[in-house]
Amino acid sequence: MAYLPHTAEDRREMLKSLGLGRLEDLFPGIPEELRLRRDLKLPPRRSEPEILAEFEHLAARQSRIDDRPSFLGAGSYRRFVPAAIDYLASRGEFNTAYTPYQPEVSQGTLQAIFEYQSLICRLTGMEISNASLYEAGTALAESVFMAHAVRNGATKVLVSEGVHPEYRRVLSTYVRSHPLELVTLPLESCVTPWRRVADAIDKAGASAVAAVVLQTPNFFGCIEDAPAFGKGLAPLPEEGRPLLIAVVDPVSLGVLAAPGSYGADVAVGDGQGLGNYPAYGGPTFGFFTTRMSHVRKVPGRIVGETKDRDGRRGYVLTFQTREQHIRRERATSNICTNQGLLSLRGAMYLSFLGETGLRQVAESCARRARHAFEQLTKIPGVETLTPGPFFCEFPLRLPAPAEEVYDELGRRGVIGGFPLGRVFPDRSREMLFACTELTTAGAIAKLEMELRAILSTRGNSRSR
C-alpha cells in the first residue's frame, strides 16, 4: 500500500479550497453516536525495520493452508498454479490494462478476453460467454435475471438447496426488491431429486417458472443427476420452458459431462480454481455462458472478432447492453466491469493444461477424495452422508460437534474440513472434507490419525 503523508499545511489548504473549517466537516453523513471522540490508541513510534519485524511476528501466528495438511474447500480450493502463470500475469501490460473501450489501443486486452471466452465455451459446451463477472454468486444472480427477461417476466425460480449458501445469499440480496420469488428445493441424501422439481413446476405452472437452478457437484460435493433435469424439462414447449441454470466447478468438467451436453441453458461458476489462489476466499472471477439465442440478454460485455478496413483481424466489444451504453430502463444489467486479470489467469491455466492436463487434475482430485473417504469412514462413530458419487469433497457426520473437532485438529497441526453448522445450523456435527491434486497420502494419513485420536479421547471421556 502506498504511504501518502499529509502535512498540517496540506490539510489547511484542502479545507480552505473546500470552504470548510475543520476535518470533521468532511463527514456530515456519519451519525454523532458512531464517531470516535478520542485519539486512536496507537503504539509508540517505531522504525520501519521494527514495524516490519512486528508484522512478520503477527503473520507467523496465522495458520496457512500450504504449510500443513488442509482439507478446507466449500468453494475455495488450494490447487497447483504453474509458475508461468504468475510470471506472465505479472507483466506490466496486463497489470495496468484498463477497460478496453477504445479498440484501437486495446487489441491485446480484447484478444485476451476473446481467448478466455472461447476456452470457457469449449469447457462448458455452451455457445457464448461474456468477459467474466465478479464471482459465482454474481454470475448466478445475473443468470436468474436473464432467465426472467427471456421468459417474459415469469417470476418463480426453483433453487436447489445444494447450491452454495453464499451464492444463494447473493441471489436473495439481488431479488430483495424484485418481483422474483425464490423457491428452495430440499435435498434427499445430499442430492436434489428430479421429482421435487416436477412437483414444483406442476404446482406453479410451467409458464410461471423462469428458471431451475442446480449445482453439480453441489455444495456438499455430491454429483447431481443433471441429465435427468435436462430430460425432464426438454418435453415442455420451448416458449414456456423454464431455463436450466447449471452451477458447475470448472475443474470437475475434466471428467464430468459439460452442461451444454445435457441441455443446460446457462452455465455459471467460479474460476478461483483456474490458476488463482484461495487468498482468504478471493479475489476470484465468475464465468457466465449461455446459448446464442440469448445473446442480447447477456449481462456484462462480450468481445467479438472482426476485420478492419484493410482486412486484418481485430477484436472489439459487441452487444454492449449495459446501462453505460444504452438507456438505463432498457439495460440488461448494471454490471460495469469484469475480473480481467483473474479471468486472464484462468485462460492461461486452461491453455497450459489443455484437455488432457485438466482431466488428469480432475481424476487426481476424485481419487484422493475417495481414498480420504474410505480411510475416515473406518473411524468408529464417523457416519457417511453420501450414498452416491462425489467429486473432490464429501460430508461426514462426526460423533462430536464439528467446530470443536475443527479447533482440536488445528491445535494438532491439521486444518480440518469445513464445519457445516456455520451455514446449516442443524448440521452442527457434520464436516465437509475437500481434497485436491495437492492433497498427499501422508496428509490423509495424518488427518485420519489425529481425527481418530480426538474422537477416541472424547469417547473415553463420555464413557467415564
Q: Which fold is adopted by the domain 355-463?
A: Aspartate Aminotransferase, domain 1 (3.90.1150)
- At 417-434, the pLDDT tens digits run 999 999 999 999 999 999
- Cα–Cα distance for residue pair 458/381, rounded to 1 Å: 11
Among the ranges given (164-178, 187-201, 334-348), the one the predictor scored with the smallest mean pLDDT: 334-348
In 10 A of CB 51, how many CB atoms? 12
Q: Residue 407 pLDDT more than 60?
A: yes
State the residue for C-alpha cell 436473495: 172
Q: Which fold is adopted by the domain 83-349?
A: Aspartate Aminotransferase; domain 2 (3.40.640)
- pLDDT, residue 462, reads 53
Q: How confident is the model at residue 2 (pLDDT cuts 50, 70, 90)?
A: low
The pLDDT of 378-402, averaged and rounded, is 96
- pLDDT, residue 464, reads 42
- pLDDT, residue 233, reads 95
Length of the chain: 464
pLDDT more than 90, % of the chain: 75
- pLDDT, residue 103, reads 81
- At 338-372, the pLDDT tens digits run 888 999 999 999 999 999 999 999 999 999 999 99
Q: Where are the domains of the chain?
A: 83-349, 355-463
- pLDDT, residue 322, reads 58
Q: Residue 337 pLDDT more than 80?
A: no
Pull the grid cell for residue 79: 490447487
The pLDDT of 90-115, averaged and rounded, is 85
CA 220 to each of CA 136, 141, 164, 298: distance values in angstroms, whole numbers, following the listed order: 16, 21, 9, 29
Amino acid letter, 311: G
Among the ranges given (107-116, 222-231, 315-324, 391-400), the one the predictor scored with the smallest mean pLDDT: 315-324
State the residue for C-alpha cell 455444495: 219
CA 131 to each of CA 254, 290, 335, 382, 416: distance values in angstroms, whole numbers, following the listed order: 22, 12, 11, 44, 35
Continuous H helices in 234-339? none
The pLDDT of 58-79, averaged and rounded, is 90
Q: Residue 287 pLDDT more than 90?
A: yes
Comparing 127 with 7, which gets the higher pLDDT?
127
Beta bridge partners of 318: 302
